[in-house]
Structure 1
């Protein structure tokens, strides 16, 4: 099956002279993408441009589309810690024919919905394998199945303004799949373009009835009522907000309409939600900046790294989640590097309020107690780590050795023996574990 995907991608770049543009601040992904295209797929023509700034990428998109090349864009969800949403929206508006793939780390379902809403054809969650990358490329270049291909034909005709042909394609899709929301959307757009607004409204309404979470019909219905019926306009805006709650501009628009209706309390509620959403986005940017600064300092100046990790946690106070555990862990390491083991213990205990069952935190508390030679307290923390995750000693041979050594120091010989034997199943070649096993045996 992979060869079919390979063929689709090669045909796009070699036979159709397609071009791909990468907008990323991660040179490692550029190397990975370049290797996939030129080495793995053996594409023979120059088909990849790489940019770390938006203006350069936008200029390249304009040049390549102006020359008539099909263009596919990879863009990071966050560029230097800042959202690329504006770039994606502008690109979609200015160059509706380009394909856009957004690159992201693990993210929420709400964020994924928002990314599709603003114009992503596809989303890749990193890290990604070569096979998955090629498959995503193939699906983006050439949608699978006859229905999807007909929908793409209809959209292309719509962009060209060939409305009668769009209606013909829509009818074909409806023959294959009666009440297809995508076909009804095409039909509604064509009817609207022909000035047949009432018929268009019926098509959009029917598309919405067939798939209540499909956003495009709801957007069309909201647009239809925008200047004529504020009640209906609000109804559909709020439906959109419920499906995709991270759209700050839409929350502001809902607030604005309520304000025009003199419904001040409701307007204030949506304005507050918009502010909260924008603050969350700003926090994401600040987090990236501070984290990057702290990470560059942790080996050179642990005290300065501590300062920035602490500031980062202070900025996010009240909005801390389990996703912030890495910041707590890095702050603890910076403290321990300075001999501040008691402060490290307090830091990790603070993190337990966010993730009370996190085995790694109990293990880190144990390490900090080891720095202070508080071996009894260390053993207690290591025992809690094992209780939270009975496999934690199998994650690393050094973890197994650290726990076993402390257990031996406090006279927990039976526990140490059992843990060493269990660890050697995974780390059978670890000489230090074997030495500990002999020590226990004697």
Structure 2
């Protein structure tokens, strides 16, 4: 028993010593790694880089300032901080024009405004800029959406000094041989050296097989070489190597879109949607593709989800999304299109103005196409409350009344349209003929004859106008 106890105690002491050595090694490695992060940021700043922080979080700005001044020993001018939302685009443009290499740290929400969409626009316009989004979000789906918006990463708040330094360092200068090879391959690709870039990518894969970022770049290179099957294979492998890396699936979807393969594009978008289900634009595209593939129930669900999501996100207004959904349904299902367009208008009822007139006209046309002329007249009259002197609205109202066989109301609307804009018939032969038919329906040949002559003047080969004119002239004798 004593011998067993001694052995047990010896084993325990050996294990403890090993654990102590591991902890000591971890501390050394951690210090070495932190030093490497510091050197990376210092090199970035010395090469003309800047850190631009758009935030009203004083504690975070002070932490960043302390890192730059006290730990990195760099000038305070290396950090630019602002709480002005409107400065974001201006700073990005200035940085791009001056050829400096800034890293932007931007709050997801600042002064009540969601900046996700603004950052996406900036990244689209200046893809070389690095952006880290500052957020308190913890939901995985929401984080995935933020990363999909074009960010180079997210910093979850609150954050301490070491974590902040690490995220900044990895954004400005990725670590490791694979990353350096990847930078070189990107440079060759940018210079049009496609084959050499592929060779460097191959060397990077020897260092780390199935590296998703390398496979993604290979897909881009193959696509530029118009080797579309190889590009698709590289993107698919990149997606399989890292399921949460969304760029390969996005590129694969775009590739199928260019080739006109709606089914395979939709398949990729569905996989993306499973990983990141909060993207409004993707829901709209999936709905559009589903309509094209005659999957009407699926389309209805997806497009309804897009409108509901837009109401909860500041990126895209619900009225705009509902209007776009209406356009998707306009040809195939006017009734559904009208419902969405009405929803779009109702969502901004308190703010109706001149900008909404086109939507009212479109809604009226959709309702008329669906056979609901009376509902159309109601929408036109709402619009006339905004713009009572709009000749086009009075003209459309007259057409709706004519379709409903209320010829006197149609004639009154047509006369009002002509009084407001005597040149309206000259806008097209179709408009002139439609007005003429309103007057013919009320036996008003005095107004109908000049309109039919105008239609023939604009379109001499119009057989319908010629026949109507001949009939009207014969009846007038």
Give the TM-score taking structure 1 as reference length: 0.59
Call closer, same or farther: CA 1:211–1:32 in 2, change over 3 Å: closer
Cα distance in 2, alignment partners of residues 164 and 55 from structure 1:
43
Call closer, same or farther: CA 1:239–1:18 in 2, change over 3 Å: same
Partner of 1:112: 143
Call closer, same or farther: CA 1:279–1:254 in 2, change over 3 Å: same
Call closer, same or farther: CA 1:117–1:159 in 2, change over 3 Å: farther
Cα pair 2:137 2:143 within 8 Å, conserved: no
Which deviations, in whole Å up to 9, do the C-alpha atoms of 1:36-71 show, x marking residues without a partner? 322343212611222333442222222223222111
Cα pair 1:166 1:186 within 8 Å, conserved: no
Partner of 2:250: 219
Partner of 1:430: none
Secondary structure in structure 1 of the residue aligned to 2:175: coil
Partner of 1:61: 92
Cα distance in 1, alignment partners of residues 48 and 239 from structure 2:
38
Matched, 1:125 2:156: yes
Cα distance in 1, alignment partners of residues 314 and 147 from structure 2:
21
Alignment of 1:140-179 (within 5 A): 140-179=171-210
Please report how far the alpha carbon of residue 9 of structure 1 lies from its aligned counterpart in structure 2 after TM superposition. 1.7
Partner of 1:268: 300
Call closer, same or farther: CA 1:3–1:173 in 2, change over 3 Å: closer
Partner of 2:288: 256
Which deviations, in whole Å up to 9, do the C-alpha atoms of 1:209-262 show, x marking residues without a partner? 434443222112211221522111111110111111111110111111112233
Cα pair 1:21 1:61 within 8 Å, conserved: no
Find the partner of 1:239 among 271, 280, 283.
271
Find the partner of 1:277 among 309, 319, 323.
309
Secondary structure in structure 2 of the residue aligned to 1:178: coil
Cα pair 2:263 2:293 within 8 Å, conserved: no
Please report how far the alpha carbon of residue 280 of structure 1 lies from its aligned counterpart in structure 2 after TM superposition. 2.5
Secondary structure in structure 2 of the residue aligned to 1:9: helix
Cα distance in 1, alignment partners of residues 226 and 66 from structure 2:
50
Secondary structure in structure 2 of the residue aligned to 1:241: helix
Cα distance in 1, alignment partners of residues 69 and 193 from structure 2:
38
Alignment of 1:30-429 (within 5 A): 30-44=61-75, 46-226=77-257, 227-281=259-313
Partner of 1:16: 47
Secondary structure in structure 2 of the residue aligned to 1:22: strand
Secondary structure in structure 1 of the residue aligned to 2:128: coil
Call closer, same or farther: CA 1:109–1:259 in 2, change over 3 Å: same
Secondary structure in structure 2 of the residue aligned to 1:150: helix
Call closer, same or farther: CA 1:21–1:159 in 2, change over 3 Å: farther
Cα pair 1:215 1:240 within 8 Å, conserved: yes
Cα distance in 1, alignment partners of residues 210 and 142 from structure 2:
29
Please report how far the alpha carbon of residue 281 of structure 1 lies from its aligned counterpart in structure 2 after TM superposition. 2.2
Cα pair 1:54 1:87 within 8 Å, conserved: no
Please report how far the alpha carbon of residue 160 of structure 1 lies from its aligned counterpart in structure 2 after TM superposition. 4.5
Please report how far the alpha carbon of residue 282 of structure 1 lies from its aligned counterpart in structure 2 after TM superposition. 5.1
Call closer, same or farther: CA 1:225–1:4 in 2, change over 3 Å: closer
Please report how far the alpha carbon of residue 197 of structure 1 lies from its aligned counterpart in structure 2 after TM superposition. 1.9
Cα distance in 2, alignment partners of residues 208 and 135 from structure 1:
26
Cα pair 2:85 2:110 within 8 Å, conserved: no
Secondary structure in structure 2 of the residue aligned to 1:208: helix
Call closer, same or farther: CA 1:25–1:44 in 2, change over 3 Å: closer
Give the TM-score taking structure 2 as reference length: 0.55
Unaligned runs of 5+ residues in structure 2 are: 1-30, 318-477
| Bigger relative CO (Cα 8 Å, ≥ 6 apart) | 1
Unaligned runs of 5+ residues in structure 1 are: 286-442
Cα distance in 1, alignment partners of residues 167 and 128 from structure 2:
18
Kindly report the root-mean-square deviation, in angstroms, between the aligned alpha carbons of the 2 structures: 2.3
Tell me which structure has the larger Cα radius of gyration.
Answer: 2
